[in-house]
């Protein structure tokens, strides 16, 4: 009933670097054959018996990507009921991403949130009574993915996409307006003008794509920001959290120097603490860049840890932070429980409505409670699976590539001397695709732009 093939990383990305790429759909085996090579030459996955495992390597254009085990399962005895291939990767997060890229490059498409489950349901592999659960998954994952899809875009990237779309929209409107009102608007000589505009925007997209490739923006983990006024003990708390098990603190190499991404495996959950120039400054974010900037950071976080100082009275900074965390997932940590308390747990509970935990960074106490608190937030669904975040960045890449193809198509139409109305078809597609990254629908944009920017009418 579905005629395309979907793929995704199906296990949560973890520091161990072992993960599975799952692919499901009519072309799953065929696509796997495009990227897989067995040790013994000439083995084709389309020919092997169902429910068998095969050793080999995944290749992309540049050569070997990873050493893998591939499991081949033909429908209907699979989770989704469709032909399914699972590629068990060993080479870490980066390699997994490359494997996924490789199958996407051969005609699979990235799975929507909850789509494997959805297919399982539609193919009769799940009990009807599970329908509600499926719907739950679709909605919650979608909300999460969409939220992240947009938040994950750093300000500058987002602004550039908005800018590209704006330029494209103007050109669509110009063409459409001239088509609607040929006697009011002429497109003489417009082709050359458009060619230049398309070239520039195509380069813009290329530039964005190159940052996706080289920056390797991998953002799995629950995005966490630690807040607190100066000297509340954020840095020392972070040190304790990190120091608790130094072996599981990961700095992802290969990211640019000024973007350091820290991963703290906290209980069973990965917390992802992002900062622009080292953890220290994140800890001192209020001191260094002020509450305003902190607010901005906090707005994009999935989890906030608010560190309050038990030994001094609450001040204006505390009140602003309390305001800031009101509608967010947050835990309040009352630090310095080893010192005489001026601020009580009860007071903070009443003020924030959040879980308040008394800790001492100095003595390392209270951390166990923090761990179980974060864990239960996760399992209750207040914090969501980190894998979606990873997928959305690939979505962005796919969307950018698709938009680039559409612009290429415009250039081809220009070269072939096609009439102007053909240009706007592909411009429109580029515009829509880029809008998908921003989570924006297109609807009346063109019509509105026509009336905004061009003087039309009888």
Partner 1 sequence: MSQLVREYQVVVVGAGHAGCEAGLACARLGLETIIFTVSVDSIALMPCNPNIGGSSKGHLVRDLDALGGEMGKNIDATFIQSKMLNKSKGPAVHSLRAQADKQAYTNRMRKTLEVTQHLTVKQGEVARIIVEDGKVKGVETYSKAVYHCQAVILCTGTYLRARCIYGDVSMHTGPNGLQSADYLTDSLKELGLDMLRFKTGTPARIDGNTIDYEKMERQSGDDVVRPFSFSTQAEEIQKEQVPCWLTYTNEKTHEIIRRNLDRSPLYAGVIEGTGPRYCPSIEDKVVRFSDKDRHQVFIEPEGLYTSEMYVGGMSSSLPEDVQYEMYRTVPGLEHAEIVRSAYAIEYDCIDPRQLDPTLEIRSIHGLFSAGQFNGSSGYEEAAAQGLIAGINAAMEILGREMLTLDRSQSYIGVLIDDLVTKENKEPYRMMTSRAEYRLLLRQDNADLRLREIGYQIGLVSEEEYRHVLWKKEKIQEEIKRTQKTYIGGGEDVQRFLREHKSAALKSGATLADLIRRPELDYEMLRGLDEGRPDLPLDVREQVNIHIKYEGYIQRQKKQVQQFEKLEKKRLPEDIDYEKIPNLRNEARQKLSLYRPVSLGQASRISGVSPSDISVLMVYLMAQ
DSSP 286: H
User: In whole angstroms, how large is the CA radius of gyration of the chain?
Assistant: 26
Quick one: 156 or 448, whose CB is closer to partner 1?
A: 448
Peptide bond preceding 76: is omega within 30 degrees of 0, i.e. cis? yes
The first and second tokens of residue 78, run together, are 């699979």
Enumerate long-range contacts of 296-299, CB under 8 Å, 24 or more apart.
297/225, 298/225, 298/227, 298/324, 298/325, 298/328
Query: Rounded CA gap, 424 and 169, in Å?
Result: 9
Residue 456, interface with partner 1 (CB under 8 A)?
yes
| Binding residues for partner 1 restricted to 222-241, rule: CB under 8 A | none
Quick one: 43 or 195, whose CB is closer to partner 1?
A: 195
The first and second tokens of residue 225, run together, are 């920001």
Q: How far is CA 325 from the centre of its chain?
A: 23
Q: How much of the chain is in helix, strand and coil states, percent to nearest 5?
A: 50, 20, 30
Instruction: Pick the binder of partner 1 from 41, 192, 346, 455 (CB under 8 A).
Output: 455
Closest by alpha carbon to 255, among 223, 214, 287?
A: 214
Quick one: 1 or 247, whose CB is closer to partner 1?
A: 1
Closest by alpha carbon to 51, among 37, 31, 30, 72?
A: 72
Residue 447, interface with partner 1 (CB under 8 A)?
yes
As measured in angstroms, the least distance from the Cβ of 106 to partner 1 is 19
Residue 176, interface with partner 1 (CB under 8 A)?
yes
Query: Rounded CA gap, 126 and 128, in Å?
Result: 6
| Binding residues for partner 1 restricted to 241-270, rule: CB under 8 A | none
As measured in angstroms, the least distance from the Cβ of 413 to partner 1 is 9
As measured in angstroms, the least distance from the Cβ of 397 to partner 1 is 20
Residue 64, interface with partner 1 (CB under 8 A)?
no
Residue 376, interface with partner 1 (CB under 8 A)?
no
Residue 193, interface with partner 1 (CB under 8 A)?
no
Residue 190, interface with partner 1 (CB under 8 A)?
no
Contacts of 22 by beta carbon, 8 Å cutoff, 6+ apart: 7, 8, 9, 10, 84, 85, 86, 87, 116
Instruction: Pick the binder of partner 1 from 121, 306, 378, 390 (CB under 8 A).
Output: 121
Select from 131-139, 163-171, 199-207, 393-401 the region that touches partner 1 (CB under 8 A): 131-139
As measured in angstroms, the least distance from the Cβ of 417 to partner 1 is 4
Select from 94-102, 351-359, 371-379, 447-455 the region that touches partner 1 (CB under 8 A): 447-455
3-state secondary structure (DSSP) of residue 340 = coil
As measured in angstroms, the least distance from the Cβ of 247 to partner 1 is 39
Instruction: Pick the binder of partner 1 from 60, 67, 88, 181 (CB under 8 A).
Output: 181
Query: Rounded CA gap, 173 and 185, in Å?
Result: 12
Give the DSSP H/E element, type plus range, for residue 226: strand 222-227
Per-position x/- string for 89-118, each x denoting binding to partner 1 as judged by CB under 8 A, each - no binding: -----------------------xxx---x
Q: In what order do the strands lie in the sheet with 355-358?
A: 249-251, 260-266, 269-275, 222-227, 303-309, 330-335, 355-358
The first and second tokens of residue 334, run together, are 């009352």
Residue 142, interface with partner 1 (CB under 8 A)?
yes
As measured in angstroms, the least distance from the Cβ of 388 to partner 1 is 13
Quick one: 49 or 129, whose CB is closer to partner 1?
A: 129
Per-position x/- string for 406-445, each x denoting binding to partner 1 as judged by CB under 8 A, each - no binding: ----------xxxxxxx-xx---------------x-xx-
404 contacts 134 by C-beta, under 8 angstroms: no
Query: Rounded CA gap, 86 and 8, in Å?
Result: 10
37 contacts 98 by C-beta, under 8 angstroms: no
As measured in angstroms, the least distance from the Cβ of 26 to partner 1 is 16
Which residues face 8 on adjacent strands?
22
Q: How far apart are the first and last CA of the chain?
A: 49
Quick one: 83 or 176, whose CB is closer to partner 1?
A: 176
3-state secondary structure (DSSP) of residue 294 = helix
Residue 192, interface with partner 1 (CB under 8 A)?
no
The first and second tokens of residue 212, run together, are 């996706």
Counting residues that bind partner 1 (by CB under 8 A) gives 44
Instruction: Pick the binder of partner 1 from 12, 20, 69, 134 (CB under 8 A).
Output: 134
What are the residues binding partner 1 (CB under 8 A)?
A: 112-114, 118, 121-122, 128, 131-132, 134-136, 138-139, 142-143, 172, 176, 179-184, 416-422, 424-425, 441, 443-444, 446-447, 450-451, 455-458
């Amino acid at each position: 009933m579905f005629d395309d093939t979907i793929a995704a990383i199906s296990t949560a990305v973890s520091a161990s670097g072992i993960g599975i790429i799952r692919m499901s759909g009519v072309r799953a085996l065929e696509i796997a054959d495009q990227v897989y090579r067995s040790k013994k030459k000439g083995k084709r996955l389309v020919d092997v018996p169902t429910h068998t495992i095969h050793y080999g390597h995944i290749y992309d254009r540049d050569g070997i990507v990873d050493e893998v085990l591939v499991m081949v399962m033909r429908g209907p005895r699979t989770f989704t009921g469709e032909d399914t291939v699972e590629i068990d990767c060993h080479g870490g997060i980066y390699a997994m991403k490359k494997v996924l890229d490789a199958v996407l490059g051969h005609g699979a498409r990235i799975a929507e949130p909850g789509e494997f489950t959805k297919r399982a349901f539609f193919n009769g592999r799940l009990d009807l009574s599970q329908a509600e659960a499926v719907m739950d998954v679709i909605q919650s994952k979608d909300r999460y993915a969409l939220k992240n899809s947009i938040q994950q875009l750093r300000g500058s990237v987002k602004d550039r996409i908005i800018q590209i779309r704006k330029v494209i929209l103007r050109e669509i409107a110009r063409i459409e307006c001239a088509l609607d009102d040929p006697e009011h608007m002429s497109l003489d000589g417009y082709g050359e003008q458009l060619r230049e505009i398309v070239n520039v925007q195509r380069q813009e997209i290329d530039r964005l794509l190159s940052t996706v490739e080289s920056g390797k923006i991998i953002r799995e983990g629950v995005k966490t920001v630690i807040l607190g006024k100066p000297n509340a003990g954020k840095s020392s708390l972070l040190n304790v959290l990190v120091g608790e098990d130094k072996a599981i603190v990961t700095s992802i190499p290969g990211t640019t120097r000024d973007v350091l991404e820290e991963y703290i495996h906290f209980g069973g959950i990965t917390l992802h603490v992002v900062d622009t120039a080292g953890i220290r400054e994140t800890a001192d974010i209020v001191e260094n860049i002020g509450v305003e900037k902190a607010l901005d950071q906090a707005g994009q976080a999935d989890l906030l840890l608010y560190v309050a100082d038990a030994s001094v009275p609450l001040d204006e900074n505390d009140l602003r932070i309390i305001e800031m965390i009101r509608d967010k997932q947050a835990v309040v940590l009352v630090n310095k429980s080893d010192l005489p308390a001026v601020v009580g747990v009860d007071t903070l509970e009443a003020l924030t409505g959040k879980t308040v935990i008394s800790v001492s960074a100095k003595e390392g106490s209270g951390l166990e409670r923090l761990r179980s608190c974060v864990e239960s937030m996760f399992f209750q669904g207040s914090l969501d699976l980190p894998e979606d975040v990873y997928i959305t960045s690939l979505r962005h890449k796919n969307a950018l590539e698709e938009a680039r193809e559409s612009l290429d198509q415009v250039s081809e139409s220009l070269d072939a001397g096609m009439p102007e109305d053909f240009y706007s078809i592909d411009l429109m597609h580029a515009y829509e695709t880029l809008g998908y990254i921003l989570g924006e629908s297109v609807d009346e944009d063109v019509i509105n732009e026509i009336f905004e920017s061009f003087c039309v009418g009888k």
